[in-house]
Amino acid sequence: MKMLDARACLEEEIVGICLENGIKKYRANQVFGWVQQKAAHDWEEMKNVGKDDREKLSSVLFIQPLEMVKEESSQDGTLKFLFRLADGESIETVLMNYENYTTRDRHTICVSTQVGCPVGCSFCATGMEGFKRNLTTGEITGQVLEIVHLIRQRDPDFGVTNIVFMGMGEPFLNYDAVMKAITLLNNEKGQNIGMRRMTISTSGVVPKIIKLAEDNPQVGLAVSLHSARDKVRDSLVPMNRKFPLEKLMEACKLYSSKTGRRVTFEVALQNNNTHQEEAQAIVKLLKGMLAHVNLIPVNPVSESIHRPARDKIIMFKKILEAAKISVSVREEKGIDIDAACGQLRQRLECERYESVNQS
Ligand code: SAH
Ligand code: SF4
């Protein structure tokens, strides 16, 4: 019989499994709490669940912890983890603000949704690597559970307050697994993270933006805009060739009208999109919309990508402010540890490559 991943099971699914195996229903509640709240690594940890029941359950459900291969901490309090999956692939997960005392109450985890990414944005380390596979729901919740498990050994009161789906991969090309992970992370007997405290970032998969607005309007939406001109956006975000700006904006407006929430638009400022005309195009595109613009000085992941000078970034911001568009400049977290998407994995692959070639 096929074993199921406990970290991907809803409480009602565990109830079903208990009943099928002659186990009392209340056990499901206990097991769900051990898996999703206490982030258990092993059936042995479930002290209040009898040995017989644990044995029966462990023959139909597996708990597969992710192997932490690397932890790096940045001076700004960002912790970055590299996890190895059961098939040997690796992914990155970032915990922001952990060691920054003033923001200690807000612990945001940035999770990955795919190994690699098929979208291939020109400035993204993950995109440059190509696509390997989608993550399973258990591997998505697993990133959060692994960090909870680890940090609670140092700080027993640790809890996650926010999740952003901004790690490796395009969450909307793995929609079902991501939405199930959101349901699990939201469960009050699990991590109990409010729907409004979870945000999906997308390169613009229009049908799934529409689906999100219909299925789960509480979840936040961030769109990686990068340019408000189709020609420039085509070259930065290849997804634009399939879903150009007009279609993208229609979907964003639908999300805003259904949810009453503003959409965050991310713009990674780099050599080819930090001009006056680019800022003016954004003004034109977003005028009158419920929107916030996040300007991110690009993390130069290859030699052809350059971060613009400070005064150019300020000029860009002023143009948006003058048009009364809500805007902020995000200081990239964890610059000293290469926290930009895909970089840590890239370095690991590099080290592996070097060690193979040296031996
Ligand atoms: N695939 C999704 C979510 C993961 S990428 C998306 O593209 O939205 C998360 C964010 O990091 C996106 O806004 C992406 O454009 C940005 N990003 C990728 N590489 C970057 C880099 N080198 N510097 C700054 N931001 C980058
Ligand atoms: Fe994929 Fe997002 Fe990177 Fe683009 S920026 S390649 S969509 S992970």
Domain ranges of the chain: 4-62, 67-354
- Cα–Cα nearest to 11, from 1, 26, 197, 196: 26
Does pTM top 0.75 for this prediction? yes
pLDDT at 38: 97
pLDDT of residue 349: 44
Q: Under a CB-based contact definition with an 8 Å cutoff, are residues 345 and 128 in contact?
A: no
Residue whose Cα lies nearest atom 7 of ligand 1: it is 203
In tens, the pLDDT along 15-69 reads: 999 999 999 999 999 999 999 999 999 999 999 999 999 999 999 999 999 999 9
Place of tokens 């595109």: 285
- 337 pLDDT more than 70: no
Which of 267, 208, 205 is closest to 241 using CA atoms? Answer: 205
- Do the bridges between strand 79-84 and strand 263-269 make them parallel or antiparallel, or are there none, so unpaired? unpaired
What is the arithmetic mean of pLDDT over 62-79?
A: 90
Give me the catalytic one of 9, 11, 18, 92: 92
Atom of ligand 1 nearest to the CA of 123: 22
Instruction: Let me know: does 284 contact 231? Beta carbons within 8 Å.
Output: no
- pLDDT tens-digit profile of 280-310? 999 999 998 999 999 999 988 888 899 999 9
CA of 166 to the centre of ligand 1 (A): 7
Tell whether ligand 2 has an atom less than 6 A from the beta carbon of residue 120: yes
CA pair distance 104, 77, nearest whole angstrom: 10
Q: Choose, from 9, 110, 117, 341, the residue flagged as catalytic.
A: 341
Told to judge if 92 belongs to the known catalytic residues of this protein, a careful annotator would answer yes
Alpha-carbon gap, residue 316 to 76, rounded angstroms: 25
- 67-354, CATH topology level: TIM Barrel (3.20.20)
Q: Thinking of the domain 4-62, which architecture would CATH place it in? A: Orthogonal Bundle (1.10)
Using a 6 Å cutoff on CB, does residue 119 contact ligand 2? yes
Task: State whether the beta carbon of 172 lies less than 6 angstroms from ligand 1.
Answer: no
Greater confidence (327 vs 353) lies with 327
The CA distance from 183 to 172, in Å, is: 15
Q: pLDDT (tens digit, 9 = 90+) per residue, 161-204? A: 999 999 999 999 999 999 999 999 999 999 999 999 999 999 99
Is 18 a known active-site residue?
A: no
Angle, helices 175-186/206-215, rounded to nearest 10 degrees: 30
**For residue 14, what are the CA distances in angstroms to 8, 25, 40, 62, 297?**
10, 9, 15, 12, 45
